[in-house]
A and B are shown apart, each in its own frame.
Chain A
Amino acid sequence: MSGAAAENYQAAGNPCRQCMPLGASWAFKGIEGCIPVLHGSQGCATYIRRFMISHFREPIDIASSSFDETTVIFGGQENLEQAVMNVFNQYKPEVIGIATTCLSETIGDDVERFVRELRMKEPGLCTLIPVSTPSYQGTQEEGFHRTVFSIVSHLAGADVGSDAGSENEQNDLEEQAESSLPALNFFLPMVTPADIRWIRKVTAAMKGEALILPDISDTLDGGLWNEYNAIPPGGTSVDHVRSMHLSEASMELGALLPDDWRPGYWLQKHYGTPTLSCGLPVGIDGTDHFFKILSEILGSSVPQEILEERNRLCDAYADAHKYLYGKKVVIYGDSSTVESLYRFTSEIGMNPLFCFTGSPGGILKPAIEKLEIPPVADEAPLILEDCDFADAEDIIEDRKPDLLIGNSKGYKISRRTGIPLLRTGFPIHDRFGASRQRMLGYSGALELLDRIVNILMEKKQDDSEVGYTYL
């Protein structure tokens, strides 16, 4: 889209965001033994399944309460009850996560009440966690964070939420918690399974135990099965979530949302579990900060092996500088990925001159402004929220960057302009290994750095008439 037409374009042309129940399903997939049910017409569940499956290349079961025309008129309570009971009977899950869709929200279904009533009727039922996710109010990011918040606020602690365990159970949990390594709660945005594994590994290396919510490291990046599993193994167990208030502390990484949707903040308010907040540990600065906090809470020092990683990363920064310095980069995707990559690309000497997200809501812009990173070039970087690819294309053409970093949906622009695209974030439907991409920690930064340098080298080499084999 170009010129005046694009400026006033109210509707979305090539959007850069997805919808709330996708984020909800993502979060529920990180709970052990959990099957998500989307309350609405079956199409939403099918689309979201297909979208996530194509990215993770793993089985992802999401059920639906399958509305028909009469449901739309009379409300969805009966459908939801049927859906929950059928999922329960077929899969014997430990948790059923229920997220609403635009349709059930528009007709005004009160899912919290439906769940309360169903639980009375069927006392033998597994844990049910409802969450309200109307997509006309937010994106997959909000859907994800609201769901994590719902999970914690329904389960953690004794007397809050009807699904919390009995007092006896709570005592057991306390004993359990005391006997093992100090536990730390981790709340992260939508990061890859490989990055979640990294969090667990470094926490263990620092003599702590990481309770990560949600933990998709196995459920969405598992191995082949020797035997059949109705629900893929892995995920944060319900017991662990129940005992989260007993942890040493909570760490919120890359929490950009308002306090209402922050589970760590909630735990601190209700149970006094101390909560620390920092940006996602991306790049040297970000990771240094992360380890400082971690070693303080756990009272242990950063192991030699990790320091060596840091040192190798510094060395790579220095070596890569001649390829990266001043290179112009455009970053897009969900707010937390963009914010992290803004910090990272600035740190390695690139010029992130244009960043955008499809998420509205005044999250990304203030977050980046708060960083107060001095711009690399004279021109201040342009940060746009609620921006779609149609609008972004004109700006990209105008600013002529050397590199685009973001999800697969930017490929059209990359193809037309010839600017290379490094795939990160979600969705990645046209490259392999999305779940194994790393970004967090010194080692993650090194992987990302290698990829950035190599894609620029490749471009330079391909464009050269000579065909140098030495760059």
Chain B
Amino acid sequence: MSSLADNEKLKDDILDIYPAKVARKRKKSIVLNDPGEIPEIQANVRTIPGIITQRGCSYAGCKGVVLGPTRDIINLTHGPIGCGFYSWLTRRNQTRPGTEAGSDENFMTYCFSTDMQDPNIVFGGEKKLKKAVKEAYDTFHPKAIGIFSTCPVGLIGDDVHAVAREMTEELGDCNVFGFSCEGYKGVSQSAGHHIANNQLFKHVIGKGEEKTEGEFKINLLGEYNIGGDAFVLEDIFEKCGITLGATFSGNSTYDQFASSYSADLNCIMCHRSINYVAEMMEEKYGIPWIKVNFIGAESSAKSLRKIADYFGSQKLKDRVEEVIAEEMSAVSAARDEVLPRTEGKSAMLFVGGSRAHHYQDLFTELGMKTLAAGYEFGHRDDYEGRRVIPNIKIDADSRNIEELSVSADPDKYNQRITDEERARLTEERGLEFSDYEGLMPQMEEGTLVIDDLSHYEMEELIKAHKPDVFCAGIKEKYAVQKMGVPLKQLHSYDYGGPYAGFAGAVNFYKDIALMVSSRVWGLVGAPWEKGESLSPVYVESGAPAVTMTE
């Protein structure tokens, strides 16, 4: 097993197998970390053809990730059958339809597709699409229908936006909007998130009546309710007396999106998938944003305190402290119980666009060290912090994604906090607005940070370091486990979850403790294969009947 000191060599060995051109490109995405002087990492660039990647397509990011957790918007895939089929209810985001009449809609379990056939490819599919929208409407009468373009659609020139406009007019009480999220646009799901959020911003946010009532009103952005994470957070906010207007987009409703402009603070969980919405909402409606992290008990406490500081109310601050104290007693007890099994162990995390960062907090709480980490679809700012944004090169792929020009809404803009107050909070309370410092400052010197880890690189990392647990997704799970290392799925959680908040931290502690102490890995290879001598012990009178171990 190698140590961090050997990482420079490991990196060279990994690059060695690639042809020169590929090696040159990959080299920039594999860096040895230095938290003192954050090195530059290449991120959000095209995966090289033939390199087996964790990444999906922008359709997946748009339809699956951002709109996937919405229960009362019908998501209609325009394309051949596969894309729609594979994105049908495979992420484990949960939702809780209301009980009163009209709020019980849940289309998440349905898969709607125009199922394009040969003639549609040749002659165009707009007619079929209109019909599909009409049929979905006639059957379910939803408030809104989203149309998602797959690769062939862009190519044959179907105009989903024109169809959407026409159908919105025709149907009258149903908001139909389209997404140009063809899979080839952008380098990963991240492009799809952006396309999705832009359209939500244009077509939904701000279209509702202000109805979020409460003293301390927030929105939670970039929380997708995998494994019920958002439920845990909803509970915590309620306990603290914080009103949650809308969550983007876990356990959400169309109406919550529409009236989300009336909250007084935007809290961002996953910076990658949604930071631009927070920026746009600030410009248009005057809502400031802060970065929060509810993965990890300590980080959850910290995030709650940030929110309380922002509102500045002593009542809220006291309540938040009470809740933290209450929750922490269970957390510490659970932690003490598992620490003997987890302390000193190691982890690697290659997942998503924020999780590879957030979950390091939980491992720290478990006394485990993160040896290597990276994102599947992060950008440089998710690694190095937002300060590098002005220096990020805009390539053809990012230029493809529409940048909305936003200005203050004449009726709905309301600056929530004065510039002086903002400065005071930053100065006195350390509350940073509109900022995210990224993953690298938190990782140790000499650890490996790798963007868009390839399948082959993953195998080399595992061979070299044999971590005690590897965090990624289902695509990586069985390959990693074949090599004798347990894999924790962090896209759709396996073993259970939720993992957010205090209750979630307790779940995570227990699950990881079980994983790192599993006996399965010790059973690989029969004793005689390993050359152990087989000397059976014959029964003597008086000896116990069953002896399984010597």
Within 8 A of A (CB), among B70-93: 76, 79-88, 90
A113 to B182, CA, bound (A): 27
Chain B proximity of A159: nearest CB distance (Å): 31
Q: Is A107 an interface residue (CB 8 A)?
A: yes
Q: Is A294 an interface residue (CB 8 A)?
A: no
Which of these, B50, B76, B183, contacts A37 with CB under 8 Å?
A: B50
Determine whether the beta carbon of A135 is less than 8 Å from that of B155: no
Determine whether the beta carbon of B84 is less than 8 Å from that of A15: yes
Within 8 A of A (CB), among B108-129: 109-118, 120-121, 128
Interface-side segment among B367-375, B434-442, B479-487: B479-487
What residues of chain A lie closer than 8 Å to B150, measured between beta carbons?
102
Q: Is A432 an interface residue (CB 8 A)?
A: no
Q: Is B46 an interface residue (CB 8 A)?
A: yes
Determine whether the beta carbon of A65 is less than 8 Å from that of B59: no
Q: Give 1 or 0 for each of A46-63: 1 = CB within 8 Å of chain B CB.
A: 111111011011110111
A140 to B48, CA, bound (A): 27
Determine whether the beta carbon of B57 is less than 8 Å from that of A10: no
A70 to B400, CA, bound (A): 11
Determine whether the beta carbon of B131 is less than 8 Å from that of A46: no
Q: Is A464 an interface residue (CB 8 A)?
A: no
Determine whether the beta carbon of B50 is less than 8 Å from that of A68: no
A40 to B59, CA, bound (A): 14
Determine whether the beta carbon of B113 is less than 8 Å from that of A225: no
Interface size class of B (residues with CB under 8 A): 35 or more
Q: Give 1 or 0 for each of B221-263: 1 = CB within 8 Å of chain A CB.
A: 0000000000000000000000000000000000000000000
Interface-side segment among B332-340, B342-350, B455-463: B455-463
What residues of chain A lie closer than 8 Å to B85, measured between beta carbons?
15, 17-19
Determine whether the beta carbon of A12 is less than 8 Å from that of B81: yes
What residues of chain A lie closer than 8 Å to B88, measured between beta carbons?
14-15, 409
What residues of chain A lie closer than 8 Å to B135, measured between beta carbons?
5, 8-11
Which of these, B83, B183, B459, contacts A42 with CB under 8 Å?
A: B183
What residues of chain A lie closer than 8 Å to B56, measured between beta carbons?
42-43, 46-47
Chain A proximity of B28: nearest CB distance (Å): 17
Which of these, B48, B57, B151, B474, contacts A82 with CB under 8 Å?
A: B48
Determine whether the beta carbon of A50 is less than 8 Å from that of B90: yes
Determine whether the beta carbon of B183 is less than 8 Å from that of A228: no
Count of chain A residues with a beta carbon within 8 Å of a chain B beta carbon: 82
Determine whether the beta carbon of B151 is less than 8 Å from that of A19: no
Determine whether the beta carbon of B49 is less than 8 Å from that of A86: yes
A141 to B59, CA, bound (A): 25
A50 to B82, CA, bound (A): 13
Given contacts A53-B474, A103-B155, contact A85 B81 (CB under 8 A): no
Chain A proximity of B50: nearest CB distance (Å): 3
Chain B proximity of A271: nearest CB distance (Å): 33
Chain A proximity of B311: nearest CB distance (Å): 42
Determine whether the beta carbon of B456 is less than 8 Å from that of A91: yes
Interface-side segment among B17-25, B353-361, B386-394, B534-542: B17-25
Which of these, A37, A41, A62, A232, contacts B151 with CB under 8 Å?
A: A41
A86 to B49, CA, bound (A): 7
Determine whether the beta carbon of B156 is less than 8 Å from that of A106: yes
Within 8 A of A (CB), among B139-162: 139, 150-152, 154-156
Q: Is A83 an interface residue (CB 8 A)?
A: yes
Q: Is B299 an interface residue (CB 8 A)?
A: no
Given contacts A47-B86, A57-B478, contact A102 B151 (CB under 8 A): yes
- Closest residue of A by beta carbon distance from B119: A136
Chain A proximity of B80: nearest CB distance (Å): 4
Within 8 A of A (CB), among B158-198: 182-185, 187
Q: Is B271 an interface residue (CB 8 A)?
A: no
Q: Is A398 an interface residue (CB 8 A)?
A: no
Chain A proximity of B73: nearest CB distance (Å): 16
Determine whether the beta carbon of A72 is less than 8 Å from that of B154: yes
A225 to B477, CA, bound (A): 14
- Closest residue of A by beta carbon distance from B473: A50
Q: Is A295 an interface residue (CB 8 A)?
A: no
What residues of chain A lie closer than 8 Å to B154, measured between beta carbons?
72
What residues of chain B lie closer than 8 Å to A65, measured between beta carbons?
49-50
Given contacts A48-B86, A68-B397, contact A11 B46 (CB under 8 A): no
Which of these, B47, B475, B479, contacts A66 with CB under 8 Å?
A: B47
- Closest residue of B by beta carbon distance from A72: B184
Q: Is A87 an interface residue (CB 8 A)?
A: yes
Determine whether the beta carbon of B475 is less than 8 Å from that of A46: yes
What residues of chain B lie closer than 8 Å to A1, measured between beta carbons?
139
Determine whether the beta carbon of B81 is less than 8 Å from that of A18: yes
Q: Is A405 an interface residue (CB 8 A)?
A: no
What residues of chain A lie closer than 8 Å to B529, measured between beta carbons?
226
A49 to B51, CA, bound (A): 14
- Closest residue of B by beta carbon distance from A51: B86
- Among B17, B48, B475, max chain A CB count under 10 A is at B475
Chain A proximity of B23: nearest CB distance (Å): 10
Determine whether the beta carbon of B396 is less than 8 Å from that of A14: no
Q: Is A460 an interface residue (CB 8 A)?
A: no
Which of these, A11, A70, A91, contacts B396 with CB under 8 Å?
A: A70
Q: Is A13 an interface residue (CB 8 A)?
A: yes
Given contacts A13-B110, A51-B86, contact A89 B48 (CB under 8 A): no
Q: Is B425 an interface residue (CB 8 A)?
A: no
What residues of chain B lie closer than 8 Å to A228, measured between beta carbons?
459, 463, 483
Q: Give 1 or 0 for each of A219-247: 1 = CB within 8 Å of chain B CB.
A: 00010111011101000000000000000
What residues of chain A lie closer than 8 Å to B396, measured between beta carbons?
68-70
Given contacts A72-B155, A89-B18, A102-B80, contact A42 B47 (CB under 8 A): yes
A406 to B84, CA, bound (A): 20
Determine whether the beta carbon of A54 is less than 8 Å from that of B474: yes
Given contacts A22-B82, A228-B463, contact A12 B111 (CB under 8 A): yes
Q: Give 1 or 0 for each of A131-161: 1 = CB within 8 Å of chain B CB.
A: 0001111010000000000000000000000
Given contacts A5-B138, A85-B19, A136-B117, contact A64 B49 (CB under 8 A): yes
Given contacts A46-B53, A47-B60, contact A102 B17 (CB under 8 A): no
Q: Is B132 an interface residue (CB 8 A)?
A: yes
Chain A proximity of B494: nearest CB distance (Å): 11
Given contacts A59-B478, A106-B156, contact A40 B131 (CB under 8 A): no
Within 8 A of B (CB), among A20-52: 20-22, 37, 40-44, 46-51
Determine whether the beta carbon of A69 is less than 8 Å from that of B185: yes
Given contacts A18-B82, A51-B86, A82-B50, contact A43 B60 (CB under 8 A): yes
Determine whether the beta carbon of A61 is less than 8 Å from that of B49: no
Given contacts A10-B135, A18-B82, A136-B118, contact A224 B49 (CB under 8 A): no
- Among B88, B139, B463, B481, max chain A CB count under 10 A is at B139
List of 9 A-B pairs having minimum Cβ-Cβ separation, nearest first: A43-B57, A19-B82, A86-B50, A59-B479, A83-B50, A11-B132, A47-B86, A83-B49, A43-B183
The interface of chain B, by Cβ under 8 A from chain A, is 17-19, 22, 46-60, 76, 79-88, 90, 109-118, 120-121, 128, 131-132, 135-136, 138-139, 150-152, 154-156, 182-185, 187, 396-397, 400, 455-456, 459, 463, 473-475, 477-479, 481-484, 524-525, 529
Q: Knowing that A42-B55, A102-B82 touch, tell me 20 more A-B residue pairs with CB under 8 angstroms.
A: A11-B112, A13-B110, A17-B81, A18-B81, A19-B83, A43-B59, A43-B151, A44-B57, A50-B473, A66-B46, A69-B400, A85-B19, A89-B18, A102-B151, A103-B151, A103-B184, A137-B118, A225-B524, A229-B482, A230-B459
A-B contact pairs, 26 of them (CB 8 A): A11-B76, A11-B114, A12-B84, A14-B88, A15-B81, A17-B85, A21-B82, A42-B55, A42-B183, A44-B82, A51-B86, A53-B475, A61-B52, A66-B50, A68-B397, A69-B185, A69-B400, A72-B151, A79-B49, A86-B51, A101-B151, A102-B79, A225-B524, A226-B524, A228-B459, A228-B463
